[in-house]
Amino acid sequence: MQSLAVFCGASTGNNGVYAEAAQALGRLLAQEKITLVFGGGKVGLMGVIADSVLAAGGSAIGVIPQGLLAREVAHANLTQLHVVNTMHERKALMASLADAFVALPGGLGTFDEICEIITWNQLGILSKPCAFLNVNNYFNPLLQMFDTCVTEGFLRKERRDSLIVETDIQALLSKLKENQPLITDKWTDLKKV
């Protein structure tokens, strides 16, 4: 794995453990010589992880839509910054630049981004591992929703099981490196096909 896309908040949240986790992941990425691919902002957890990667001598590639340059305040010191026109272009470029994906705590944008990549994997558009760094059990409600999707027949169990969920950063990175993405040829209701 040469690059990792990290989806996370443009806020640091109300608990310092989120920023601490972002800093620790950033340091580890630099140490492992894994390029950070992220949303390109200098605010929130996005800024925290980018600053951490850069301070440790690593590489950070940002992708930011023109319309968010001012609001998310584009990070000025990145290895590379791509300015795109739309959020769709942002996500597509991040997907092409990254070998794997991880969600850190964040809001609706973070959920949108990681769920889109999971869906692209399900549809066969991508075949790259997806993970959640479950700091402070932040993602437990979302993961429970995924379990409900399985129980109710809207998500295959093997797809849910393919998602990496870790609280330990080193273990998360190890699992991402070892992961063999699930490739399925069917995601629809087999009873009706």
* CATH number (domain holding residue 136): 3.40.50.450
- For 153, phi then psi, to 5°, come to 85, 25
Q: Phi and psi for 81 in degrees, rounded to 5?
A: -130, 120
Q: pLDDT tens, 17-72?
A: 999 999 999 999 999 999 999 999 999 999 999 999 999 999 999 999 998 887 76
At residue 184 the predicted structure's pLDDT band, cuts being 50, 70 and 90, is low
Q: Which residue has the tokens 């949303």?
A: 39
Residue 191 is assigned to a structural domain of this protein: no
The answer to whether residue 46 sits within a structural domain is: yes
Tell me phi and psi for residue 123, to 5 degrees.
-85, -5
Residue listed under structure tokens 């399985």: 150
What 3-state DSSP class applies to 126?
coil
Summarize pLDDT for 64-121 with one digit per residue, the tens.
999 888 776 899 999 999 999 999 999 999 999 999 999 999 999 999 999 999 999 9
| Domain encompassing residue 52 | 3-184
Rg (CA), the chain: 16
- For residue 52, tell me if it sits in a domain: yes
In this structure, is residue 193 part of a structural domain? no
Domain presence at residue 190: no
Choose among 154, 74, 87: nearest CA to 116.
87
Quick check: helix, strand or coil at residue 168? coil
- Reading the block at residue 26, the tokens are 């950033």
Q: Total domain count for the chain?
A: 1
**Is residue 189 included in any domain, yes or no?**
no
**C-alpha count within 13 angstroms, C-beta hemisphere, residue 171:** 8
- Return the number of other C-beta atoms located less than 10 Å from residue 17's C-beta: 12
Region of 136 (left: φ > 0; alpha: ψ -120 to 50; beta: rest) is: left
For residue 39, the 8-state DSSP code is: -
Is residue 170 included in any domain, yes or no? yes
Q: Residue 74, SS3?
A: strand
